[in-house]
Chains A and B, each alone.
Chain A
Amino acid sequence: MWAFVIRRLIYMIPTVFIISLVSFIIIELPPGDYMTTLMASMAAEGGEMGQEEIEALRRIYGLDQPVYVRYINWMRNIITRWDFGYSFEWRAPVWDVMGSRLAMTVVISLASLLFSWVIALPTGIYSAVRQYSVGDYIFTFFGFLGLATPNFLLALVVMFLAHRYLGLSVGGLFSEQYQMAPWSLGKVVDLMKHIWIPMIIVGTASSASLLRITRANLLDELRKPYVETARAKGLRMWRVVLKYPVRIALNPFISSIGFVLPQLVSGSVIVGVVLNLPTTGPLLLRALQSQDMYLAGSFTLLLATMTVIGVLISDILLAWIDPRIRYD
């Protein structure tokens, strides 16, 4: 078991390395750098910057060095000092700007993951056991619909309905009095009151795909002879189903974290923009638009790394739970 965990950890190194490269490419991709944007905005305000001043700033931020040196510097600072660079727009270290936002993204993604499990498990079991029943058709219909609706569209529709019929504004994660307040029990309760809307919106698509997977797996399992044997021996239907096939059909729940998690993180980013949540979404979009590239690159780096860690955890869990998986 431990050898397996360690090997998986070693496998992760090249993956994270590629991720860091891609993130750095993202930082370097836009033509020009932050200085260009800064000059443009200064010019728009009427101020001019001298060439020397610009060169001095470039030197301070290390923008005058060759690409690979900048990459190595960036990585070294992250690894040794947890320093992701400097956000030009916010005039603060990147980590200070994005730390709490990342945490919120994790909270929403995990809540949505839980939500999709809670929805997909019972409906998936029902759909498989009562195949072609009215309930199965209804769940299948909503499953397909959930898969076909882009996250942001669902968010817009929910926002519109809440505004029109309930007179509520559903944006944000906190009430006004808690927005700036430090963490307290009251704030957590307030968060719980607000989180369910983004949770449902982000979790819908993955609930739908998990529902399809559970249904398909359970159907395969239900057709096996041991189920018939158990039934023939007189066990009640639900007891048979819950005791054996469901347990086997549960494995994909864990293994599917691998592709569900990137989906959820993606979803929380775009839904965050629509609902204006204090998550990474709106900040990432702004950073990209204003070419605040260290912030944008660090976001992609950390979001992707978090996803890889999530997948790693799910692989380890799966190996631990499913006795059929060998560790070699």
Chain B
Amino acid sequence: MSERPWNEDIGREREELLEEEQQLKVATPLQLMWWKFTKHRLAVAGLVVIILFYGVAVFADFLAPYPPHERTGYTFAPMNWPRFVTNDEGFTLRPRVYQMDSDIDPRSFRRVYEINDEISYPIEFFVRGGPSYKILGLFETDLRLFGVTHEEGEVFFLGTDRLGRDVFSRVLIGSRISLSVGLVGVFLSLLLGIFFGGLSGFFGGWVDNLIQRLIETVTSFPTIPLWMALAASLPDAWTPLQVYFGITVILSVVGWTTLARVVRGRFLSLRDEDFVLAAKFSGATEARIIRKHLVPSFTSHIIAALTLAIPQMIIAETSLSFLGIGLRPPIISWGVLLQQAQNVYAVSMAPWLLLPGLFVVVAVLAFNFVGDGLRDSADPYSTVKK
């Protein structure tokens, strides 16, 4: 083991332990939660992924190599990744893409592509071109992170679709809608959940009974048929923005029940806690008890429940848009992109059309991990180790 005498070793360990104990005793609840949260490696990884995804969504215009509606003229082109080693240039620090030669298959009359590994073009960074957009809604620019300026060179990370649009760029732009639907929808269901859950927990009695019946009914509805029916009733004449809000409202109308249950449950169990009684005896007003004691002790649970509700909304939006009754083109969301993969022949010809689904799965996984981690760390009775 170590070269030091054993008693010194143990002494040092004890000192460290004592120090840790000290830290635990003076830590704020938020700090305790954070320590517990960082123990879950998957949850931390999930958090990193989520931050990354939302960052990408914010700067999607800048990161996407193509404008999302631009038709490149390459229909159903396969993936064409940049590489550092090419046949014509050898190793270069600047990644290069091979030229893609297209031809018409004489039998099927389909356009087929072949990667020409003799000619390659350099990827350039901070290129200008295409329609301009606004970064953060403030600065108008046509700067993009990377692209190929040569006319013959194209960089397709995820291939192109039926109209020759770059799937990768569309996935990046689509993340804005797909990821924000969850947030907006969850916010609306939080309002509904707090309202009904609060009523239920506060009044009890027949109000509680009625709301519980209502929740039971809503949860026993198979969600997809209900969503389908509600989404199909949105007027065709609505603008994309109206449809977007319509869909989020529909998602939250069905999704608020879980949150209402959490709010009610916490409300009921906290009402009888000793510390609430103690505060009452010490002369604290109702408002102070709610503000200082009740709200802090259930916000963490609500946040955990919210985090777990977001992925449900993402899946729901994707499913509805996939069926063609949710969001519709020209809005771009991951579900809208997957709509093109509905037909098995399209998919067998261009399997990369399925790849937007991968982003859905990763986003949902990340939210689930973070939600699980939060739920565990929000539990004040689980033991903490720093």
Contacts and interface: CB of A to CB of B under 8 A. Distances in A.
B232 A289 contact: yes
Contact of B229 (A26, A149, A153, A157): A26
Contact of B323 (A29, A31, A147, A285): A285
A160 B365 contact: no
Contacts of B229: 26, 29, 288, 296-297, 300
A311 interface: yes
A14 B211 CA distance: 12
Contacts of A159: 344, 347
A284 B369 CA distance: 34
Nearest to A16: B217
B360 interface: yes
A13 to B, nearest CB: 10
A269 B320 CA distance: 12
Contacts of A99: none
A266 B230 contact: no
A19 B351 CA distance: 41
A242 B224 CA distance: 37
A273 B323 contact: yes
B220 A150 contact: no
Contacts of A149: 357, 361, 364
B225 interface: yes
A209 to B, nearest CB: 11
Contacts of B116: none
A222 B264 CA distance: 31
Contacts of A284: 225, 228
B235 interface: yes
Contact of B235 (A22, A31, A147, A303): A31
Contacts of A289: 232, 324-325
A148 B228 contact: no
B230 A26 contact: yes
Nearest to B351: A160
A221 to B, nearest CB: 18
A87 interface: no
B213 interface: yes
A262 interface: yes
Interface string A22-43: 1000100111000000000000
B219 A266 contact: no
Interface in B212-270: 213-214, 216-217, 219-226, 228-230, 232-233, 235
Contacts of A127: none
Given A147-B368, A160-B348, A304-B220, A285 B315 contact: no
Contact of B315 (A11, A150, A169): A150
Interface string A151-178: 1110011011001100001010000000
A288 B357 contact: no
Interface string B350-362: 0100100100110
Contacts of A163: 344, 347-348
Contact of B225 (A148, A156, A274, A303): A303
Nearest to B224: A266
B347 A19 contact: no
Contacts of B322: 150, 152
A226 interface: no
A267 interface: yes
A149 B321 CA distance: 16
A37 to B, nearest CB: 11
B224 A267 contact: yes
Contacts of A229: none
B300 interface: no
B357 A153 contact: yes
Interface string A244-273: 000000000000001100110111011001
Contacts of A273: 323
Interface string A161-202: 001100001010000000000000000000000000000000
B319 interface: yes
A30 B234 CA distance: 7
A299 interface: yes
A227 B338 CA distance: 50
B167 interface: no
B143 interface: no
A231 to B, nearest CB: 25
Contacts of B364: 147-149
A144 B366 CA distance: 10
A153 B225 contact: no
Given A147-B368, A285-B323, A266 B220 contact: no
B222 A15 contact: no
Contact of A274 (B219, B315, B342): B342
B175 interface: no
B67 interface: no
A145 B229 CA distance: 28
B82 to A, nearest CB: 26
A217 interface: no
A157 B348 CA distance: 10
B233 A26 contact: yes
A265 B344 contact: no
Given A29-B233, A266-B224, A285-B323, A18 B214 contact: yes
Contacts of A311: 220
B341 interface: yes
Contacts of A11: 213
> Which are the 10 A-B pairs with shortest beta-carbon distances?
A288-B232, A29-B233, A266-B224, A265-B222, A148-B364, A26-B229, A153-B357, A266-B222, A148-B365, A18-B217
14 contacts: A18-B213, A29-B230, A30-B233, A147-B368, A150-B322, A152-B322, A153-B360, A159-B344, A160-B348, A164-B351, A169-B344, A262-B221, A263-B223, A285-B323
Interface of A: 11, 14-15, 18-19, 22, 26, 29-31, 144-145, 147-153, 156-157, 159-160, 163-164, 169, 171, 258-259, 262-263, 265-267, 269-270, 273-274, 280, 284-285, 288-289, 296-297, 299-300, 303-304, 307-308, 311
Given A266-B223, A270-B224, 14 more contacts: A14-B213, A18-B217, A145-B361, A148-B361, A149-B361, A150-B360, A151-B319, A163-B347, A262-B220, A262-B222, A269-B228, A300-B229, A304-B221, A311-B220
